[in-house]
């Protein structure tokens, strides 16, 4: 049986991936800084390693005897320029030393501005933002390491424990029956992926030898506007609080006082002209893509927050 190491298992996608692996009866080891949180999330179902991905020795210890490493680690935007490359170098080195394959959870930043109605894996990557350029540079370097690597590009996440995602920011207050803020224009059709769906797709890829050495675009369940999300929760839950949109000007102002908010500003183009993914390659070569409806996914996320 293949043994997995999930890096960033306490985050939204890392959590969903770990649960999917366990549901398939896999041998799973998890790695994150907060051991207590890992214990709370998984208990004795997994082998727990507490550690810091910036400490190569700790990473190597956790990676011993594993066959597949799943990289679902992220760090705050304001640390990307100085630390994101080193984080990835450590992961590549660990995979190389233990002879493991590597499956990477990535976003869509490297594509840059919208260049097609839907972006397939062959769409050009022309990032115009600092963070998009960092992501593309890391992806290029990863493919030069000699490690068997697959890259999965996802739209914005939402779902249980996806606490830092842009949609969960809205759903959290809706779950508490409070006034809520929605980032971006409420009328724009955007794409999100429910983390359990993304986890199913990534795990399937990680178990497919031919998937390595390739990029894969994992789409959500179509597109939806902020107005449609609000109507969904009003109809389904009887939510009647006000939902306001917050845009570039307001976030730029907040950025004067908060480094994290300052780093968000350049990515807001994705709320105006979203990059939508084409997953026909996955469905052609791997199988049917899991697609939970937005209604079901949003209501499950809200219920999880309430719990």
- Residue 306 burial by Cβ neighbours in a 10 Å radius (0-12, 13-18, 19+): exposed
pLDDT of residue 255: 63
CB-based contact 77:260 (threshold 8 Å):
yes
Structure tokens at 180: 């809520």
Residues 21 and 9 in one domain: yes
The dihedrals phi and psi of 169, each to the nearest 5 degrees, come to: -55, -40
Question: What strands lie across the sheet with 47-50, from one edge to the other?
Answer: 47-50, 27-32, 3-7, 68-71, 101-106, 149-153, 215-217
Residues 180 and 107 in one domain: no
pLDDT of residue 51: 93
108: in domain: yes
Residue with tokens 């600092």: 130
pLDDT of residue 2: 87
Please list, in sequence order, all residues whose beta carbon lies within 8 angstroms of the beta carbon of residue 294, skipping any fewer than 6 positions away. Answer: 192, 221, 222, 224, 228, 229, 232
Residues 67 and 80 in one domain: yes
Q: Running DSSP on this structure, what letter comes out for residue 78?
A: G
Residues 251 and 286 in one domain: no
304: in domain: no
129: in domain: yes
- C-alpha 152/C-alpha 89 separation (Å) is 18
- C-alpha 124/C-alpha 45 separation (Å) is 42
CB-based contact 180:173 (threshold 8 Å):
yes
Residues 101 and 144 in one domain: yes
- C-alpha 298/C-alpha 180 separation (Å) is 15
Residues 265 and 284 in one domain: no
Look at residue 183 and give its three-state secondary structure. strand
For each of the chain's 307 residues, which pLDDT tens digit applies? 689 999 999 999 999 999 999 999 999 999 998 999 999 999 999 999 999 999 999 999 999 999 999 999 999 999 999 999 999 999 999 999 999 999 999 999 999 999 999 999 999 999 999 999 999 999 999 999 999 999 999 999 999 999 889 999 999 999 999 999 999 999 999 999 999 999 999 999 999 999 999 999 999 999 999 999 999 999 999 999 999 999 888 788 666 667 777 888 899 999 999 999 999 999 999 999 999 999 999 999 999 998 8
18: in domain: yes
Residue 304: beta bridge partners? none
pLDDT of residue 258: 73
112 Rama class: left (phi>0) / alpha (psi -120 to 50) / beta:
left
126: in domain: yes
Residues 74 and 170 in one domain: no
Q: Which residue segment(s) compose the domain that 182 sits in?
A: 166-187+224-271
Residues 127 and 262 in one domain: no
What does DSSP say about strands 192-194 and 3-7: parallel, antiparallel, or unpaired? unpaired
149: in domain: yes
CB-based contact 72:7 (threshold 8 Å):
yes
Residues 170 and 53 in one domain: no
List the beta strands (DSSP E) in the chain.
Answer: 3-7, 27-32, 47-50, 68-71, 101-106, 149-153, 156-158, 180-183, 192-194, 215-217, 243-246
Condensed to tens digits (0 to 9), the pLDDT of residues 266-281 reads: 999 999 999 999 999 9
First to last CA, the chain: 34
Structural domain tally of the chain? 2
- C-alpha 1/C-alpha 29 separation (Å) is 13
Residues 243 and 232 in one domain: yes
- C-alpha 101/C-alpha 136 separation (Å) is 20
pLDDT of residue 252: 80
Residues 81 and 52 in one domain: yes
72: in domain: yes
Residue 89 CA from chain centroid, whole number: 19
Residues 98 and 212 in one domain: yes
Nearest to 69 by CA among 174, 161, 145, 140: 145
């Amino acid at each position: 049986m293949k043994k997995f190491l999930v890096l960033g298992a306490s985050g939204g996608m890392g959590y969903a991936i770990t649960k999917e692996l366990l549901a398939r009866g896999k041998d799973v080891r998890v790695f994150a800084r907060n051991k207590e949180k890992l214990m709370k999330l998984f208990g004795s179902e997994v082998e727990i390693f507490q550690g810091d991905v910036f400490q190569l020795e700790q990473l190597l210890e956790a990676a011993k005897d594993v066959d597949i490493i799943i990289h679902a680690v992220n760090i705050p935007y304001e640390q990307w320029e100085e630390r994101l490359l080193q984080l990835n170098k450590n992961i590549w080195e660990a995979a190389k030393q233990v002879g493991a394959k590597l499956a990477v959870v990535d976003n869509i930043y490297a594509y840059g501005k919208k260049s097609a109605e839907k972006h397939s894996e062959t769409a050009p990557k022309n990032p115009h933002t600092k963070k998009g350029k960092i992501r593309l540079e890391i992806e290029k370097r990863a493919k030069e390491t000699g490690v068997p690597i697959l890259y999965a590009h996802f739209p914005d996440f939402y779902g249980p424990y996806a606490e830092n995602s842009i949609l969960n920011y809205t759903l959290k207050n809706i779950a508490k029956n409070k006034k809520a803020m929605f980032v971006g224009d409420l009328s724009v059709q955007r794409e999100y992926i429910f983390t359990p769906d993304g986890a199913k797709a990534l795990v399937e890829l990680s178990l497919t030898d031919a998937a390595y050495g390739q990029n894969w675009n994992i789409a959500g369940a179509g597109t939806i506007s902020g107005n449609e999300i609000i109507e969904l929760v009003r109809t389904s839950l009887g939510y009647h609080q006000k939902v306001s949109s917050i845009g570039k000007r307001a976030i730029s102002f907040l950025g004067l006082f908060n480094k994290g908010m300052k780093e968000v500003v350049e990515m807001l183009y994705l709320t105006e002209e979203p990059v939508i993914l084409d997953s026909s390659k996955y469905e052609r070569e791997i199988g049917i893509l899991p697609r939970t409806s937005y209604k079901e996914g949003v209501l499950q996320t809200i219920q999880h927050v309430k719990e």
